[in-house]
A and B are shown apart, each in its own frame.
Chain A
């Protein structure tokens, strides 16, 4: 009995000792709640760690490292590291959207890229959208070149930024961009006045904007003014542009995917149809990886009830059979015969009854065994 008491006492002691260790102590009744202390979690970041990762540059240029780079230097960097994707003049749309184009001298005066109002103007270049030069510097610094981000030196980042602005007609050929003149360059951006935060789509009051949505739908339920005329649809020539939609829908359920490799069948459902719309090709997109044929045969013929691939059940594992007999010159014939004839004594006294599978199937299994019984 005393040992029981000792145990209780010991447990109590442990629990009492443990109590002060609770991180989040429940606040005593009536006291102000105490913020939990998550002991042992996290540690102070060191100055060099912060310096290594603190790379962002804000619109007020907080975070911008000291340095400079010239338009001329930028051209060298551009042609070596940037032009293959963006084009020699930043105009290419081959890989990414064009960077330069669509801005005018007038835009530099107004701070509005006028062509943003022109729905006929093809595309929107980065320079038409750019409202803060810090953004350009920060992005080149953190993410470019695309295949080797964060590999440019500070001078190269300044230089490439300067060269882009030069191609856009914002900076002259002999300009050197630096941390000291970035704020002045900001005042030349063609679309510097092109942004607004007066909308209800920021989830908070940080910008002091509105919380009232700008668009509201109708709640009409009956005989509503309707737009029942179809105004836009995919042309027939685009029917298969996204691949065969029959391969992009499930093969069971209320509907199938349309076979877009052939024209739409005009016959309504419920009438005799020359070819069934959905069922002519219930296709599976990806070839289903076929399990080795032998595994299917083992499954179908009940072999796996007594033999595991890797483990003995009633009879030996297939792997063991392969190990014992696979090297025989007549392994396929021997094993195929054994499967169909059954036997006992080789692996113990539990007999294997004769199996009724075909000679071909037995041979296929024997072949698989002779090859090492691989899954």
Chain B
């Protein structure tokens, strides 16, 4: 027997849709039983009867006819309206039941997920953000994608230290140590930025490999980060930014994650020593209590559990600048220090692995972003790139942040190939796979920003495809 929760969620899922009652659900005899029990005052059964009755009415009304989204029932109206639900007739829950609130239990499907077979360990692995279920531009902190190289920690902030130094007083005069208390006293800024793993979409370089946008694009998240510009702290320490053009950022975790950060980006004031994320402190999986925010640059440079900043006059050639995060080109050369995430977009609704419930109107919705600045335009095609229409860019449109786009679409029930194509404020236009592979081949692993194609089949199923 289904629990109340399952029943209610099924009812929620089924409301307003003409469909045969699914398997393992109440048949006609079962409905009679619960209705009989309902008359005897078994309240928990009444609610089940509502949903069952909705299903019955739907079948009765529709028969073999075309399904409608919100059918007119035969017997005077929708039981969801005619019979007041429990929540309209009882007292709701009080405050403070959940001191830190959680999503509705009906949202339990919206989770970070790992791609099976991608990695053999969980500590050096990825959990992808469920982009197919997100609205707007902000990723809820608990759904922010995870990528760790040697596991994550929840580090006590009172013992965490940041050291800023150089090997040479000519590069930085006053090496310093800061506590979190001290850093958080400094003048802070709060800014929305996307963070995307350099290997996002990497599985798709040569061919389709994964089914949904969660796996094709889910190493992408966007948050409001709060922190102090690294420039401020380096100036406090007497940096010579003319000599010291390369800055090493190092994490306190086991991997001692290190990456070389360009001084030119630090000088712009964009690089932050951040402790805040979406109004609260960073989540442990995102580097609590301190991480580097490097807008427009791939996530590996956003060093978590940041313990050290070192100013140098040469790049550092760290492990993830040599053995990883170097892009193999067809001539056998590896592009080193590739860092920028170039202009990219993807339609998240509808997207792979979903099923459209009916023909008719849909809001095609997706995300666009560029590591070079703001998004200027997004075009959407429903015929595989033959014809394009400009999408509406929703506000805010921010530099190096996700931008949400929408476009009206009436689906006629015939197969469609949905694509989006972004242009950023520098004029760079997102390329097709053919255009991208013509220059970079298909073994680069990193920085795949090709146009994504979703095939909508006549049965409503949406599939991940690549075009030739």
Contact = CB atoms under 8 A, between A and B. Distances in A.
Interface string A205-231: 111000001111111111110111111
B150 A206 contact: no
B317 interface: yes
A113 interface: yes
Given A95-B121, A215-B435, A217-B435, A272 B323 contact: no
Given A202-B262, A233-B208, 14 more contacts: A38-B185, A55-B256, A126-B323, A129-B326, A143-B254, A146-B254, A204-B262, A206-B264, A228-B417, A231-B466, A245-B212, A250-B109, A255-B355, A281-B23
A290 interface: yes
A106 B230 CA distance: 45
B334 A245 contact: no
A5 interface: no
B326 to A, nearest CB: 7
B317 A59 contact: yes
A282 interface: yes
Interface residues of A, number: 131
Interface in A217-271: 217-224, 226-234, 238-239, 241-243, 245, 247-258, 260, 264-271
A117 B116 contact: no
Contact of B464 (A119, A234, A279): A234
A25 to B, nearest CB: 14
B4 A358 contact: no
B322 A285 contact: no
A174 B366 CA distance: 60
Contacts of A304: 91, 93-94
Interface string B6-41: 100110111001011011000000000000000001
A143 B255 contact: yes
Interface string B326-347: 1111111111111110100000
Interface string A352-375: 000000100000000000000000
Contacts, number: 439
A227 B258 CA distance: 41
A70 to B, nearest CB: 24
A232 B177 CA distance: 54
A61 to B, nearest CB: 11
A66 interface: no
The list of the 8 closest CB pairs from A to B, nearest first, reads: A204-B264, A231-B468, A282-B13, A204-B262, A217-B429, A268-B458, A245-B353, A227-B467
Interface of A: 24, 35, 38, 40-45, 49-50, 53-56, 58-60, 62-63, 94-96, 112-114, 116-117, 119, 124, 126, 129-132, 134-135, 138-139, 142-143, 146, 149-150, 194-207, 213-224, 226-234, 238-239, 241-243, 245, 247-258, 260, 264-273, 275-286, 288, 290, 296, 299-302, 304-305, 308, 358
Contacts of A49: 163, 177
Contacts of A285: 108-109, 111
A292 to B, nearest CB: 13
Contact of B175 (A50, A126, A269): A50
A27 B262 CA distance: 30
Given A135-B317, A230-B465, A276 B333 contact: no
A268 B414 CA distance: 9
B75 interface: no
B262 A223 contact: no
Given A269-B359, A272-B64, A229 B323 contact: no
B387 interface: yes
Interface in B405-462: 413, 417, 421, 423, 428-432, 434-436, 439-443, 447, 451, 455, 457-462
Given A56-B316, A228-B385, A302 B91 contact: yes
Contacts of B435: 215-218
Nearest to B431: A217
Contacts of B208: 232-234
A81 to B, nearest CB: 15
A365 to B, nearest CB: 14
Contacts of A253: 349
A204 to B, nearest CB: 3
A150 to B, nearest CB: 7
Nearest to B468: A231
B11 to A, nearest CB: 9
Contact of B108 (A241, A257, A286): A286
Given A59-B314, A139-B319, A264-B461, A206 B354 contact: no
Given A254-B350, A269-B413, A221 B379 contact: yes
B359 to A, nearest CB: 5
Given A149-B256, A279-B13, A53 B383 contact: no
B186 to A, nearest CB: 6
Contacts of B154: none
Contacts of B177: 42-45, 49
Given A43-B176, A233-B464, A255-B355, A226 B383 contact: yes
Nearest to A240: B211
B353 A248 contact: yes
Nearest to B174: A44
Given A132-B317, A282-B13, A264 B385 contact: no
A316 to B, nearest CB: 17
Interface stretch (B137-145, B189-197, B245-253, B276-284): B245-253
Contacts of A119: 441-443
A195 B329 CA distance: 10
B353 A135 contact: no
